[in-house]
Structure 1
């Protein structure tokens, strides 16, 4: 216990601090009863909450206070300063809150307050549905089920997933978990008791055959039928498969599920040479993870630079140099022609030794069920601002949803974990009749060794890239502009600037 206390920073807030030490709009980290506490002052109000984000432990003192909320600098979670409630993904758990008292121009932090159950909001459209079905066990599906119960929804929730594992923290599968730096008990979004405790009927390893829109039923592949009053489609995306000779060999992998990551880890433990096909975010995160495990890694991709389509040439050159500094060998402007038990033959005629091959060549949205049901689709499932499909009472969220983005003025589909979580939560509110438009600015992060890249907005194209700072020095903000308007911003170790860019996009002042 003494060791824990020795790591605490700042003053003991139970003993009080001078009011003058906390400026209006300021933040200060101290501790109370052995726990780190963040103090935030807004005018006459002073809030005391946990000092670290409930997602990955980001330091909230380095974040951004917006009205009566605080945003995490690492992955843009957002919390209510008064109640501690997690308002935005990727955080799902609330912050602890403490009572605060002012006496004689001093601030004292008192007892930790009991967690308050969120109050159920009154529906704008009458009675709540008796049963909500969720098809998909990923980010959007889980976030919807969790939010329904957080909103005190009392009806049935049935969650159908063709995965064998309960919902997991998918970004970790290609990052710390694959690198061997995160234990497996970090990976589930919630333990198995969560579903029973919250009355969520989670059905794993079950495929949906079709949806009968008129009858309000889901037909399962095992022949069963499930009636619903409201339905969320959150089927996600699936990895694109190689079609070259040898693509079906046992040492050739894609990465989407926990089972995929486990298989790669098992083979990597006995492997020395890895070939990664594709220089996408997933591909390069896998490359970094396997290098961390000590494997020799070669990356093969058809483009001139890694990730140039999303991040542009300057960032692409930096990412290549970063990986080369860590021992990755690139074969750009080339493709795999065939795979044997021990080698990958490239189109250029070169051969690469390969004990393990991981293909990260993209994903495609799983829209077959929606198309068969007659829902409107266009390179995804078309939804309105409330995430409702062309069929009343049926919603879509996550990788399959193409929605009217209020920031770009275009219909977009985004394959980001945080977007899927936030859409799932918004869809949950709308299935309960709250008529909440989805207006969140897209956000994702990518990790390469010890270098994080944060990205807010959405730029399918640009006519100008502006760089502030020094990309090579790992201290930069990059703006992607079209027609003079900022479409997206990428940052490296400029966390507050990333949060400020997100806020500007939200307010239309970017």
Structure 2
């Protein structure tokens, strides 16, 4: 057996003592499989030690009651069953039976994976559920409906040509060339067939009739529904300047977009990224990984200052400059003449590949046409139900009452969309569960991950613990003395604790 695949820690079949645990955890093995022992109260559990999302080390995670949270992207698993109870993880982890012989703890047998049960559905549900959207929220809802034992019809209508994918990868590892395309799908094609989910790709939806309870497709066909989830997501804002419609100028939202940028990068030498947003700078980092010369043009004084503050903005800029990115800030592109971009300052950048990342806008046309209440998004209540009974909304389009900030908010985070899709599914089944998850997202810049918990549309001050320049910090964004959000670099456990504190502050 090679060194890399050598099992970790002690042989748990021979037993260990609680005195061997560190911070309530112990990593060992059963046969050739690594197993994590976790003490939670008076009980000890045994679970697979790597998160099923991106294989984050659960031994470094946070135990909350009888669950464990991943330090990387805040997924959550039941220690009892291994079920992924919170995205971005979707797949369950293996669990093992734990026995005690006096003061010895032994692990020998893996438990059977529990089958989905409909036992906790509150009431009989209608038979026909329609989901409009093939992104994180739509997929999260469809998968949760089947996980909960819903046996009725699920039709999922997606305007995209690709199956639901792990969208964060499109600007990160996949675009950088370090992740293969077969990592992208959230589930393989046969999952939808086996789960009885009618996934219709390249399908336009023309209208929704709340009274007749039907959806009109782009080809004129009508599809009846008993419950409907709107998860239409957002679309990139396009650049409205002369010459911006040329084929070498791209936006990034879909698999097709990412493929097109990768293909263009193969023959390009210099790339221009317009916009210093998270997406824009992740694209810049990915194109640097492909050895392109990269220039970034943005109107602000420093990247991400509005969300992360001055000091973190300066750090992000310096990090990208250390990796060869040239910034042109306080500036905008005003015209393209073939490959030549003219800037407002009078400067000129010649680039054979251009990617614009100047923001996205929610796709609200269907909701507006259906007469649903709109307020810079689709207005929903705490159960993600719109102004029309039986029609729910989730993901980038939904504006919901956030108990932590005390405001109605709309955010465009992947993990939020997945979690909202799952909660919407439960409420389509009649469960009446509030959506109370604290918003979370992560961004990757070269070897530096930035985690962000909460939501601060504005802040009075920022309390910094640690060193931003040293890539070891926790930042608290406060307004009126109250912490609204926390950003961190390599403070994963502290980030998890901040998330938990926010949850408990409005429990």
What TM-score do you get using the length of structure 2 for normalisation? 0.99
Change (3 A) 1:121 1:463: farther
Note the aligned Cα RMSD (angstroms): 1.2
CA offsets, 1:40-83, max 9 Å, x none?
A: 01243110000000000000000000000000000000000000
TM-fit CA distance, 1:259: 0.2
Question: Of 29, 32, 57, which aligns to 2:30?
Answer: 32
- Mapping 1:422-441, distance limit 5 Å: 422-441=419-438
CA offsets, 1:84-125, max 9 Å, x none?
A: 01000000001100111111311111111110013214333x
Runs (4+) of structure 1 exceeding 4 A deviation are: none
CA offsets, 1:159-199, max 9 Å, x none?
A: 00000000000000000000000000100000000000000
Give the equivalent residue in structure 2 for 1:8: 7
CA offsets, 1:200-257, max 9 Å, x none?
A: 0000001100000000000001111000000000000000001111111010000000
SS of residue paired to 1:141: helix
Distance 2:31 2:163 in 1: 36
Give the equivalent residue in structure 2 for 1:345: 342
- Stretches of structure 2 lacking an aligned partner (at least 5 in a row): none
Question: Of 378, 388, 400, which aligns to 2:385?
Answer: 388
Give the equivalent residue in structure 2 for 1:485: 482
Give the equivalent residue in structure 2 for 1:335: 332
Distance 1:43 1:488 in 2: 29
Structure 2 residue 327 is matched with structure 1 residue 325: no
Question: Of 38, 57, 60, which aligns to 1:59?
Answer: 57
Distance 1:355 1:368 in 2: 34
Check whether the contact 1:454–1:491 (CA below 8 A) recurs between aligned residues: yes
Check whether the contact 2:294–2:324 (CA below 8 A) recurs between aligned residues: yes
Distance 1:226 1:383 in 2: 23
Give the equivalent residue in structure 1 for 2:20: 21
- Mapping 1:59-98, distance limit 5 Å: 59-98=57-96
TM-fit CA distance, 1:20: 2.2
- Mapping 1:150-165, distance limit 5 Å: 150-165=147-162
Give the equivalent residue in structure 2 for 1:118: 116
TM-fit CA distance, 1:509: 8.0
Question: Of 445, 458, 464, which aligns to 2:461?
Answer: 464
Structure 2 residue 374 is matched with structure 1 residue 408: no
Distance 1:121 1:396 in 2: 26
Check whether the contact 2:403–2:506 (CA below 8 A) recurs between aligned residues: no
Check whether the contact 1:444–1:455 (CA below 8 A) recurs between aligned residues: yes
Distance 1:283 1:8 in 2: 41
Give the equivalent residue in structure 2 for 1:247: 244
Distance 1:6 1:173 in 2: 30
Check whether the contact 2:40–2:63 (CA below 8 A) recurs between aligned residues: no
Question: Of 380, 393, 398, which aligns to 2:395?
Answer: 398
SS of residue paired to 2:12: coil
TM-fit CA distance, 1:18: 2.2
Distance 1:117 1:44 in 2: 27
CA offsets, 1:392-423, max 9 Å, x none?
A: 00000000000000101100000000000000
Give the equivalent residue in structure 1 for 2:215: 218
SS of residue paired to 2:13: coil
Q: Which segment is superposed worse, 339-348 or 353-362?
A: 339-348
Check whether the contact 2:404–2:506 (CA below 8 A) recurs between aligned residues: no
TM-fit CA distance, 1:372: 0.5
Question: Of 36, 40, 43, which aligns to 1:42?
Answer: 40
Distance 2:116 2:189 in 1: 23
Distance 1:459 1:221 in 2: 39
SS of residue paired to 2:268: coil
Distance 2:208 2:16 in 1: 61
TM-fit CA distance, 1:341: 2.4
TM-fit CA distance, 1:6: 4.5
SS of residue paired to 2:284: helix
What TM-score do you get using the length of structure 1 for normalisation? 0.98
Give the equivalent residue in structure 2 for 1:128: 125
Question: Of 304, 323, 326, which aligns to 2:301?
Answer: 304
Check whether the contact 1:133–1:228 (CA below 8 A) recurs between aligned residues: yes
Check whether the contact 1:4–1:34 (CA below 8 A) recurs between aligned residues: no
Distance 1:4 1:417 in 2: 36
CA offsets, 1:435-481, max 9 Å, x none?
A: 00000000000000010000000000001111000000000000000
Give the equivalent residue in structure 2 for 1:356: 353
Instruction: Report the number of matched residues.
Output: 507
SS of residue paired to 1:430: helix
